[in-house]
Chains A and B, each alone.
Chain A
Amino acid sequence: MKIVVASGKGGTGKSMLASSLSLLFSEITSIVACDCDVDAPNLGLWLGITTYDSVEAISTSEKAEIDSEKCVGCGKCFDNCLFGAIEKADSKFFVNGLLCEGCGVCKIVCSACAINLAPVMNGEIRIKKTIWGFPLVSGQLKPGETGSGKIVQELRKRADQLSHNVMILDAAAGIGCPVIASIVGCDYAVLVTEPTPSGFSDLERVLKIVNYFRVPYGIVLNKWDINPEVSQKIEKWSGEKFLGKISYDREVVNSIVNLRPVIVSKSKVKKEIKEIFEKIKELI
């Protein structure tokens, strides 16, 4: 059983909820938690992890290199690169590694056979047993590298190899490649939103992805009391998909400062998350 937590908008409380749901599920079955936000992985912090014992460097992308000795300056690479990764200087061409996606088009069109593709170590996969007893698999894309979706695929493979009944996946913000790679193949999606125009708009956008992959879903409304009026609208709009709401509580900030999931804090949101968990348990 794979449960993904997603939201479109950043900062709605995905990792806050994913960490607490992980703890609650771990009390009834074996679980593995997956931090699929490889750009800015934060689930580990919520689960009390600041350092990892095992770090595996991985390569899921290649980058082009132009041999300036061989380059004849024809510019075909420049004309054909969709990503704007080829730059010109002194009638020769160079690859901007920050923009290269490793698609290999430049190598194909090069009239002087001056271009090579070389694998780059673009990320890391880290595994650690949390103090809560279950393992966390976390990925990290190196800043400036590409291929975040492929790192998500890799880390999901690693998580699959660990024995578990339930996998909790914490997705990145947005609706692009890493998020698609997190949602695809999941059995259930928990979509977290907040009562703001942005939260609602981004919920609708991530929902298009969830529906496209036909993943059953439920909606959680976080910080509902910062705008009860909009909250009511979202709750009504969600209909039977509504899983529950979580209050805004500054105690949540204290939880993360102490690197502890809110479900073990004194916050009033504990009870609300427990209710959401019970509902998800019934649904899956």
Chain B
Amino acid sequence: MKMIASTGGKGGTGKSTFAILSALKFSNQGKKVLLCDCDVECPNDHLLLGKELRESEPIYQDLPELDAEKCVSCGTCSKVCKENAIFWVKGKTPIIFEDLCIGCGACWIVCPQNAIKRKEKVVGETFETKISENLWLLTGVSEPGVSETGPIVKEAKKRALKLAKRIGAEILIIDTAPGTHCNVIQALLGCEKAYVVTEPTPLGAHDAALILDLLKMMNIRSEIVLNKADIGSEALIKKIADEYDVPITIRIPYSEKVIRAYSEGRLDRIVGLV
């Protein structure tokens, strides 16, 4: 199975649009395709396909819970917490701030009294949606307020790989979040090729360079998809493409038709564009 990514650094360049159009194109050709929406903070692929998400499967993560009876207020937990999520004053029982906690487990591992238990918390969920005979969508969604979303992407991808096996997918398309940090890195991991979707503006060029830096570090082969290709200035992107020795292989023109299909959740109408 091939695993490819649609990414781009900047937001709103058309990552999801490109991922969906590609998924529709391959599935229309008779290939079995799984699309995995890894933009777990703001997942939208289902909306662009006009589908509702049903039957969620929760993603759990262990978080610490302090047993005040057992705690001897030694402060060891607070000292190991790199996120400063445990507040402790000498002689007092520590206070755990769940909002800051990333659930790494350092505190319950070090507690000499075993006073910190793990409790399961739902940090996100996944949804499986059958779009057509050949196309499935797996959507990862983070619980609002959860700050560390990399592990949610990791779990969503794990489930996507399982689903891909079950349905016999030939292509797995990963749709990443904007940006270049942990949630995007998790999404790109293991992809054999990445399509960097950008737009011909200084913003697109700037952010494309950042994601190309990351892709280079990850040894992932890349191509540039130029969206809204006929507005702005293609020379800006050409310069970046040359600098990184990455070809611009696909150009999607700006069109009212695309915008309408996007805003109506009917990307299937413009599948001929890629």
Contacts and interface: CB of A to CB of B under 8 A. Distances in A.
B55 to A, nearest CB: 19
Nearest to A96: B189
Interface in B35-92: 39, 41-42, 44, 47-48, 61, 80, 82-83
B142 interface: yes
Interface in B137-194: 142, 144-151, 154, 177-186, 189
Contacts of B102: 82, 101, 103
A273 B170 CA distance: 48
A98 B146 contact: no
Given A103-B82, A174-B178, A11 B11 contact: yes
Contacts, number: 199
Contacts of A235: none
A141 B44 contact: no
A261 interface: no
Contacts of A250: 231
Nearest to B149: A176
Interface in A1-47: 8-12, 15, 37, 39-40, 42, 45
Contact of B145 (A82, A208, A257, A259): A208
A227 interface: yes
A141 B201 contact: no
A39 B12 contact: no
Interface string A142-172: 0111101100000000000000000000001
A197 B48 contact: yes
Contact of A144 (B142, B180, B203, B264): B180
Nearest to B212: A143
Interface stretch (A126-134, A198-206, A238-246, A264-272): A198-206
Question: Chain A: interface residue count, which band?
Answer: 35 or more
Contacts of A176: 41, 142, 146-149, 183
Interface stretch (A65-73, A104-112, A276-284): A104-112
B60 to A, nearest CB: 12
Question: Chain B: interface residue count, which band?
Answer: 35 or more
A120 interface: no
Contacts of B16: 198
Contacts of A195: 263
Contacts of B146: 176
B42 A257 contact: no
Given A176-B183, A177-B148, A84 B154 contact: yes
Contacts of B273: none
Given A197-B44, A205-B41, A174 B179 contact: yes
Contacts of B13: 10-11
Given A9-B42, A195-B263, A226-B263, A174 B177 contact: yes
Contact of B178 (A62, A173, A175): A173
A67 to B, nearest CB: 20
Given A45-B206, A143-B214, A257-B202, A227 B179 contact: no
Interface of B: 9-13, 16, 39, 41-42, 44, 47-48, 61, 80, 82-83, 99, 102-106, 109-110, 142, 144-151, 154, 177-186, 189, 201-203, 206-207, 210-211, 213-214, 217-218, 231-233, 259-260, 262-265
Interface of A: 8-12, 15, 37, 39-40, 42, 45, 50, 62, 80, 82-84, 98-99, 101-105, 108-109, 141, 143-146, 148-149, 172-180, 195-198, 201-202, 205, 208-209, 212, 226-227, 230, 250, 253, 256-257, 259
